Amino acid sequence: MLKDEIFENRGKIKILIFNEVERDELTKTCKYIWDIGILNVVFIEITDIFSKIILYNPFTGKLKISVVHNMDLVDEFPDELKNMNGYPLKLLIYPYFNNYDGDHIIRMSLKKYFNCSIVYQPANKYDDIPSIKRSLIDTGTDFCVQTIPMKSSLYVELDRLTTWSISSKEDHIVILVPKPKRVSGLNHIIDNILSVKSILITFITLCSVAFIDKILSTEHLDYFDNLLFFIMATIQVSPYTNSRKKSLVKAAWLLICIIIHVTNSAIILKCILSNSKDTRISTLQDLNTSEIPVFYYAGNIKEFRFKKSHRIPKNIWSDMILANRGNVALVGLLIDVKYYLSEIYETKNYEIMKELLIPCLGAHVVKRRSPYISRLDLLKVRLREFGFFSRFSTPRKEEYLDNGKISFSQLHGIFYLYFCGCILSLVVFAVEHVIYKLKQK
C-alpha cells in the first residue's frame, strides 16, 4: 500500500505519504498505527487530480478526509498543515533531480513547517559516495532528499549511512541489452580447433603421447606410424593386432582431448556450453565499453551518462523492443520491460542486464549526526555501516540471472567433436593400413 514510509521530526510529528488505496485497507493501517502507540500521525494521499489529508478517529474507527488545495505550490500551503511547526533541521537536497510530486511536498513541508534550512549539493556529485558523506558531515545535515537514480551497489552503500530511508523499491529501472549472438556449434568448434594455439598444443600433445608409447611398446615402429596411430579414436580394428590394444588407442585419444581442453583454458568446452561469440553485457561499464547506442524515454535516466544515449518518445521505445533487432540498449521501468519480455511478444534477442538501477523517488532521512537520534538507533546505524541489518532488497534473483540449466541443444557440440574424431580415425586408419601393406611388399 505505502509508496513511502513515515517521516518524523523528533518523535513528535509523523507524516505518511502514499498513493490512492482502498479505504478499508487504509482504516486497518490507521488502527494498527494507533494500537502500537503512534498518536500524532498525518496521512497525505497523492492522486493525479488532488491531494488529501486523512485523519483517523480511534474512538469511532473512521477516517476524516479533507481535500488539500495548492499542495504543489511553493508559497501556498493549506491551513491544515500549519500546526506542523517543528524544530530547525537541515535538509540536504540535490537540485535539478527533485522533480517528483511526492518529493516536492516533502521538501517544501519540511522547509516551511519544520523550519528546515536548505543545503544544496552540486548535481555533478550524485555518484560520489565520499562527497555525499563529506556534505553530510560538513553541513550537519539531518535530512537528505534525493530523487536521483543510482546503481544498486551505490544505493546499498548509501543505505548503510541512514537510520531509515524513504525510497521506491518496486519501480526498478532496468536495461534491455542484446543477447549474445548464437552461432552453429560445429562452426564454433572448428574456428577454435583450427586456431594456431590449438593446432600447436595438439601437435605437441600427439608427439608426447607417441613418444611415451614408443618407449613402452615392445615392437618399435616408425615414429611417423606412431604419430598417425595415436590420432585414431574409437577405432574397432587395429592394423597391429598383435602389438597394439584397442583400449590403448581409445585411452590415448581421451588423454589427448583432456590435455587439449585443460591446456587451452577449456575453450572448446566453453564454446560448447555457451555457444556464443559475443561477451554478455552485465554492468553499466560493459554497456559503455560496447559502444551500443542507448535509448530511454524518462528524463532522469540521462544522468547515468551513457556514451551514446538518446531520449525518444515511449511509443517509439516500445516499437524498438518489438522490432527485436538486438542491436541497441533500451532503458525503462521493470514493469514495462517485463511486459514486452513476456511470452506474448517474440522479443528473444533481448535480455535484462544483471546490474539494476535504483530510482530513489523519495527521501533519505540521514540521522547519523542528528541530536534527536536515540542510542539504540545510533547503535543500529553503527552496525549497518559495517554491513549488518541491511534493509536493501532486490527483485527475485531468477528474474535477472540465468537459471543455469543446460538444455540438450547446448550439448550438441560434444557430438560434433565425437563425430569428427570418428571420421579422423577412419581416415588415419586407412592411411595406416596402406603404409602397412606397402611395407609388406
The predicted pLDDT at position 70 comes to 45
CB atoms within 10 A of CB 388: 10
State the average pLDDT over residues 141-170: 53
pLDDT > 70? residue 321: yes
The whole-model pTM stands at: 0.38
- If one compares 152 and 285, the residue with the highest pLDDT of the two is 285
The predicted pLDDT at position 365 comes to 45
The predicted pLDDT at position 440 comes to 76
Residue 274: what are its φ and ψ, rounded to 5°? -85, -35
The predicted pLDDT at position 400 comes to 33
Q: DSSP state, 195?
A: S
Torsion of CA 136, 137, 142, 144, to 10 degrees: 0
Q: Work out the pLDDT band at 309, boundaries 50, 70, 90.
A: confident
Greatest mean pLDDT among 100-114, 313-327, 339-353, 357-371: 313-327
d(CA 14, CA 29): 14
In one letter, which amino acid is 151?
Answer: K
Greatest mean pLDDT among 174-178, 369-373, 414-418: 174-178
Contact 91, 145 (CB under 8 A): yes
Q: Work out the pLDDT band at 214, boundaries 50, 70, 90.
A: low
The predicted pLDDT at position 12 comes to 47
Which residues, in sequence order, are CB contacts of 104 under 8 Å at separation 6+? 72, 98
User: How much of the chain exceeds pLDDT 90, in percent?
Assistant: 0
The predicted pLDDT at position 27 comes to 74
pLDDT in tens, 40-70: 555 666 555 556 666 666 556 667 666 655 4
The predicted pLDDT at position 335 comes to 72
CA distances from 93 to 108, 168, 305 (A): 11, 17, 20
d(CA 232, CA 251): 10
User: How much of the chain exceeds pLDDT 70, in percent?
Assistant: 19
Residue among 150, 210, 219 nearest 360 (CA): 150
Domain spans of the chain? 6-172+358-385, 176-181+280-355, 185-275+410-440
Residue among 133, 109, 113 nearest 121 (CA): 133
